[in-house]
Structure 1
Amino acid sequence: MKWIILLFMFFGIIINYADKSIIGYAAEPIMKEFHLTYTQWGLVGSSFFWLFIFAGVIGGAWSDRIGTKKTLTILLFLWTILQFGVLAISGLPLLILYRVLLGAGEGPHGPVSMSQISRWFPPQSRGFAIAIFNGGAVVGALLFAPLFVKMITNLGWRGAIASLGILSIIWVVLWMLLGKENPATVNWNEPIITQSKVKWSEASPIIFSRTCLLSLFVGFSAFGLLVWVSLFQPLYFGQVLGFTKQQIGLASAGIGIGGLIISILLSRFSDRLFIKNQKYYGSRVLFSGVCLLIAGVCYLTSILSQSNLLTLLAFTISGGCATTVAAMVPQIMMKLFPTRRGFGVSLGTSFQNIAGIVGPIVCGALISLAGTNKVLGFHYALFYTAGLMLIAGLLFILFCRPDKATVEAGQPNDNSVSI
């Protein structure tokens, strides 16, 4: 049954990322229809995350109280309504409103899904399970790219986006029939998730600890890359590398396949390290930090590269490494909040999504700053993204120590000391 649950979570995140990423492939027709600048397009991308963050924290804590099955059912039903609502968009204000509401509806999905996965998979195999789950994001954002291009060409950007609402309603019906909240028995030792309200006096010492803050910053920097991929990478392929629409779709799919394979292999290796030493620093922190440094170096390499093939290879490696980091950070947050896993993971994912607010605006402004020199502008944006990853990866390796942190205020384990 745990594999059926993981399959549902996998397809749920595919729909999630398809919903949010298809607009990147529709960037040119949307910008042309509404006469948008790069700065305004950055605002459109940023608007998705204005309520996403708050909805993520609230939804994650809410799922601990009413259950993950009910929460996921409600969320995907809301997506259906919002995706069909795109047919009414007639200008920039309505486009922004649609993105804001979609962000609010999709905000809790990631943390709630990872909380659901944690109920079915033990800590020693959780990295692999979450990597597969995150792989669904790669499928939704990149592997579907050729299909997105064809849908936009044949249906228009409104019709293409609206058609995705059909997928979410199918998921809801099947989930209501087949989904389950918890396994009948659990064969690993881990604190039980509580359904009481989260107390600030208990949570705040953990939230403001060095380990937690660095984990949040790492999630922020890794997600900055994923924001670039979904919002600006199709534009980069077309306007800098000179790809056709079909080539953009194929290149995105190729990067997605390669990144997915890299992420699953790396996450599996991280799990093996954890099984061997039972320490979060070596298997999660050091591993994630190195992955983030590699991702940053790859993006810098792409700036200097004179070869499209080398650029695609650099994007593939960096995407795989960043996706791996996205699978590691929730596990650290679940360690810090073992009886509040929905809240802990939602806190991590919501903070990382601040990159979704900041990144599009900064990248759009940097591209516009270069004026008519689009190549230079896109390189400014890549340099910003790479710099964040390099700084975060180094700080994470040097100062994050989850094995020495209190697991949860009032809920210490045998190996913990106070923060």
Structure 2
Amino acid sequence: MNAAPTMSERPSGTAVPHGGGARAWTVTALLVVFMMVNFADKSVLGLGADEIRADLHLSATEFGLANSAFYLLFSLSAVVVGLVADRVSPQWLLLVMAVLWSVAQVPAAFGGGLAVLVASRVVLGAAEGPAFPVAQQATLAWFPNHRRNLPGALISLGVTLGVIVSAPGLSWVIQHHGWRAALWVLAGAGLVWALAWKLFGADGGHRTGGNRVAPAAATPGMSDVPEATGTAAATAVPYRLILASRTWIGATLAYFTSYWSVALMLVWLPSYLRNALGYPAHTAGTLVVVPWAIGAVALLAQAGITGRLMRRGVSSRRARGWVGGWLLALGAACLLAQALVDGSTGKTVLVALGFGLGGSYATVAATTVAELAPAGRSGGPLGAMNAVVTAAGLAAPAVVGALVDARGVDGYHLAVTFSGALLVIGAAASFFLIDPARDIARRVR
């Protein structure tokens, strides 16, 4: 392949030689909405948790397991489609995923009991598993490495906006028309997005993997470690070398602990606000967006700080690994501190800050792995990372459900404290393991 970022032929779509044009930002905007729909789908059961449990006569453990079922095939599909995304147009993969999301909502929207709900969530999880890595890959392909922090952050911002925008509306639909009506709303939203993507979506021209830059074209902040030249040489790097690197392991472990917090926000935060802190349903439906709003600010701040550091020539180890590590460390401090505070107001503030900061690591992880991987090989490592990370979504809802059944209200508080302890581990991994330049250099020796 060419040393400097140039057009890359794809099976379909329009490739462009320079990132950041109007088309690049149009595609980025569509993919932000894509992630908004994705996380609205994920959040709907949490928003209707008490209504669903009453309607289907479920214990907290059963409800937690129903939510965990969403992740049963989520990780497997993330790996498989992540590998396929290195060979097949992301434009078409994204379109197929969006259509499948809408179809998967229909059985539970029509009716049925726990079995139908679980089956529909398993199918939905399989369809949504690859969403984040493929959306990140599709977005980053429109930008060179040193310009990826903002678009990467915007895709992650779609996650938070999905809950911020949808939570009040879906809560209103659930309260006035039932939780099944909310599923119909989400099915319609998925189809509308699919139509818009069919009309305006396209593939970008920059291959992900930020370390192949000719000396004359190098930009401060981009990895300039020599890499094998030529498409065949670059793509010949075995996936095992990428997945065994300290950077991939560190980014994945840190992101796992962050995603644990995200999973709890999606599934149990509304119930925590209602049952543990005593807020009425309509107030909880509003307060649930606060940690997501904090996360949105944290994502944009992280993108700005990281981008500025990299433009000044600071290494990714510090610009991504250390900045991300501080996000997790601050989130951990807030979640652990809530156990020392009495009163619902103080706990609400600390939990919102803790989950908001602790759940904001996705962009750091994705851009770090995209830089680490050679051109044409990012889909597999991103998909594998997503598979490991989202295993937190498989475990967290069930673990918290069991805690609530066993300990009642105290189970909610224990779950928050445990999330804080996990974030401490994630922060340490981000600080001490992430260093793309070191691992790229080791790979090419």
Give the TM-score normalised by structure 1: 0.90
What is the CA–CA distance in structure 2 between the aligned matches of 1:193 and 1:383, rounded to whole Å? 50
Give, in angstroms, the shift of residue 336 of structure 1.
2.3
CA contact (8 A) 1:51 1:103 kept: yes
Whether 2:37 is the aligned partner of 1:15: answer yes
Show the 5 A alignment for 1:20-419: 20-183=42-205, 190=212, 202-339=238-375, 340-370=377-407, 373-374=408-409, 376-406=410-440, 415=441
- Taking structure 1 as reference, are residues 193 and 150 closer, same or farther at Cα in structure 2, changes over 3 Å only? farther
Post-superposition offset of 1:133: 1.3
Indicate how the Cα distance of structure 1 residues 8 and 91 shifts in structure 2: closer, same or farther if over 3 A, else same: same
Percent identical among aligned pairs is: 24
Question: 3-state DSSP class of the match of 2:72?
Answer: coil
Distance 2:295 2:364 in 1: 16
> Is contact 2:168-2:285 (8 Å) kept?
yes
Deviation at 1:256, TM superposition (A): 2.5
SS of equivalent to 1:48: helix
What is the RMSD computed on CA atoms of the aligned residues?
A: 2.5
- Which digits, 9 at most, give the CA deviation of each residue in 1:45-84, with x for residues without a partner? 2111110001011112212212110000100011111122
Measured against aligned partners, the alpha-carbon deviations of 1:351-397 in whole angstroms (never above 9, x if no partner) come to 11010111112222222221xx41x1111111111111101212331
What is the rounded CA distance, in whole Å, between the counterparts of 2:331 and 2:270 in structure 1? 19
Count of residue pairs the alignment pairs up: 406
Contact kept in structure 1, 2:133 and 2:379, CA below 8 Å: yes
Moved more, 298-307 or 172-181: 298-307
Aligned-partner Cα distance in 1 for 2:351–2:255: 18
Q: Secondary structure at the match of 1:65?
A: coil
Q: CA contact under 8 A between 2:239 and 2:381: conserved in structure 1? A: no
Stretches of structure 2 lacking an aligned partner (at least 5 in a row):
1-22, 214-228
Q: Which has the higher helix share?
A: 1
The Cα shift of 1:241 comes to 1.1
Please report how far the alpha carbon of residue 346 of structure 1 lies from its aligned counterpart in structure 2 after TM superposition. 1.4
**Distance change in 2, residues 1:274/1:308 (3 Å):** farther
CA contact (8 A) 1:255 1:312 kept: no
CA distance in 1, matches of 2:342, 2:146: 42
CA distance in 2, matches of 1:56, 1:185: 20
Q: Is the 8 A contact 2:241 2:443 kept in 1?
A: no
Shift of 1:287: 1.2
- Please identify, of 55-64 and 17-26, the stretch whose mean Cα deviation from structure 2 is larger: 55-64
Check 1:288–1:311 CA distance in 2 against 1; reply closer, same or farther (3 A cut): same
Cα distance, 1:59–1:223 mapped onto 2, change above 3 Å: same
Gap change, CA 1:193 and 1:181, over 3 Å in 2 = farther
Cα drift, residue 279 of structure 1 = 1.1
User: What are structure 1's unaligned runs of at least 5 residues?
Assistant: 407-414
